[in-house]
Amino acid sequence: MPSPALTRTFSPWSMGGLRLPHRVVVGSMHTGLEMSDDEGAGLAAFYRERIEGGAALIITGGLAVGPAGRGGPDYAVLTDPVAGARLAAAVLAVHEAGGFVCAQLFHAGRYALLDGLTDPDGSPSEAVAPSAVPWSAARGAVPRALTGGEAWSIVAEFAAAAATAKELGFDAVEVMASEGYLINQFCSPVTNLRDDEWGGDAERRSRFALEVVTAVRTAVGGLPISVRLSGDDLMPGGPDPVEYAELAVRLARAGADAVSVGIGWHESRVPTVQATVPHGAWLAATERIAAALADAQLPTAVIASNRFTDLRDVELVLKRGTVQAVALARPFLADPRLIERSRAGDFAAVNTCIGCDQACIDRSLVFAPVSCLVNPRAGREAEHPIVITRSRSDMAVVGGGPTGMAAALDLARRGHGVTLFESSPELGGQFSLAARIPGKEDYAASARAARLELGALGATLRLGVRAVVDDLERFDGVVVASGVRPRTIDVPGADLPHVIDYETAIIDGVAQGPVVIVGGGGIGVDVATLLVEPSDARERAARFGPAFDLPWPADLVEAGRRDWANRAPRRSPLPGKDVTVLRRTGKFAAGVGITTRWVVLGALRAAGVTMISGVGYRAITPHGVLIETSEGETRLLPAATVVVCAGQEPYAPLASELERRGIRFECAGGARDARGVDAARATSEGLAAARRLAL
């Protein structure tokens, strides 16, 4: 029986003729596994684990309908026989596990990055679009405008791909018409400058979408069709979102059984999926489309998405009666057992998606293997299966931060004995620090889930205990994951009492008065964010202007505060003018992911924070920081507090003694090498260390 808190979530619903047991959909995610040279084993294992964890319906990552539709080199073309064989293996795995899978029919249009790729005839691939309008990430490449006849050819490609999906055994198809891809490009006057049958006014701009859905319906017969439709492009000069609500009605009449609502384009300057975006922030855009379909008395199901992580929030949305289902994507990277745990009411045990984008979206945009910061096995399930060992080892893990938690969890899941030593009274390490930063509160959930799962698996947690070598001699192996310590700076006056490190600033706060932050990398901008941002998610979001002026349901807003009700209240934020961030060389927020960096810096600039680069540090005085600017000017920046964010040093005092005594160990994460370390690398190294020590 499902948790009483989720009665609506765990009620059945229908997408066309497909009857589904609950209302949570695994949303489309590009993984790159579709093109892995493993005959589909990686994708099959990825999907199977999520179905076995309780998922019912999975939407694939975008499957290109033709070579020009590929987003890049690791995108599969659905009609390619080699890709088809791999996809068939994934479909079989889903069905064997008792689930359903929907093929997303995809064409990137001007978002295609095809440098060095060729079409089947050997000619160089080129991006095509409704009009020759480039975008910044295309590195200056201008897409070729399609002729009217070529547009009809792509409609035919969608139909052929849909027919192929049906032949491969897919249970449904989804037409990608959102997030700025080709169909969405036809719908927008930003990218559709035509004046012919495919553009010139709203009706002609929407024709391509309608022709595609009509052709797909003819190709698949009664197979369910979903359309991933934009709720709001968030682009200057884009169509009024009401046009998309009207288009949804026309698409439903053309044969769509469901409309899944997406938000924003890749090039939009309004954040949509980052950690700073409040949970469920875009519900109003979805409900606008749902209302239009309801007014037209159409039975089309509406699927909400974007920044849902907790099924209790999903339940609140579903009980409003406006949408039929909710799609979660990245949360299924973080925890393949999300459904199973939530169904049982074990909400605290869910390894929550923290919205960081580092190992998922950021990697997909550069065609690197997709995984998950808080679950480094994601996308590597075939490579690192969970097989209960027949030869149990007793393993120690020193350090309960991201690296240590990843190592301990992997060892315990495979049946090894685990004793984890952590010198602080709680798990989390750098995650605990991050959770104090506005917009990163969800980081605490990962540590909470790890503690619960390790306890359930029988691991011993020695919290508040600093391990010594004598404690470790009896173990078969040791993972040293003792992390990092803040780096000091060699500047006159760095030992003055008003100079503190970032850990002290984050935990204890700063004195009243102006603050100078020495170091403008990821940690420096985090500290600045802590000092100037309000703790309330809606107030923070308001910095991004009218795009966030949405009629959020009051109950959903309150639910966003649920896990933080017992936290000590933060001080009122400092005025941005009282915070200055300094950097010697390089970009501010260097090391922060490409989909997040612009959001963080934009919020700081909106708050009035001063950021100065190209500085030399002359001295720290009782009154402030004496710097030399890039123009050679000497300035004293007033400071009641100076926060040093100059990087980190590895902290692994046990490693040399373990080696001397001949105790097997692996050093991982920041304890191994603090240069350029981030949490994604740390958790991945924790998993790898656990696998090397105990197979």
- What is the residue type of 107? H
Measure the CA–CA gap between 173 and 491, rounded to whole angstroms. 62
Measure the CA–CA gap between 450 and 405, rounded to whole angstroms. 7
Whether 244 sits among the annotated catalytic residues: the reply is no
Alpha carbon dihedral 169, 112, 270, 300, in 10-degree steps, equals -30
**Which residue bears the tokens 């740390």?**
682
* Cβ proximity of 353 and 374 under 8 Å: yes
Q: Kind and range of the H or E element at 602?
A: helix 597-607
Q: What token pair was written down for 635? A: 């300035």
* Cβ proximity of 40 and 63 under 8 Å: no
- Residues near 371 by beta carbon (within 8 Å), at least 6 away in sequence: 333, 359, 360, 363, 377, 378, 379, 380, 680, 684
**Which residue bears the tokens 């080129």?**
126
C-alpha dihedral sign at 232, 237, 240, 246: negative
Measure the CA–CA gap between 621 and 626, rounded to whole angstroms. 7
Alpha helices in 296-401 (DSSP H): 311-319, 330-334, 338-343, 361-364
How far is residue 375 CA from its own chain's centroid? 12
List the catalytic residue out of 75, 181, 443, 617: 181
Alpha carbon dihedral 73, 79, 84, 90, in 10-degree steps, equals 80
- Residues near 347 by beta carbon (within 8 Å), at least 6 away in sequence: 310, 311, 312, 341
Question: 3-state class of 61 per DSSP?
Answer: strand
Alpha helices in 41-147 (DSSP H): 41-52, 81-96
Roughly how many angstroms between the first and final C-alpha of the chain, as a whole number? 36
Measure the CA–CA gap between 368 and 149, rounded to whole angstroms. 35
- Residues near 513 by beta carbon (within 8 Å), at least 6 away in sequence: 578, 638, 639, 640, 641
Measure the CA–CA gap between 99 and 525, rounded to whole angstroms. 43
Strand 634-638 to 624-628 pairing: antiparallel
- Active site amino acids: 181
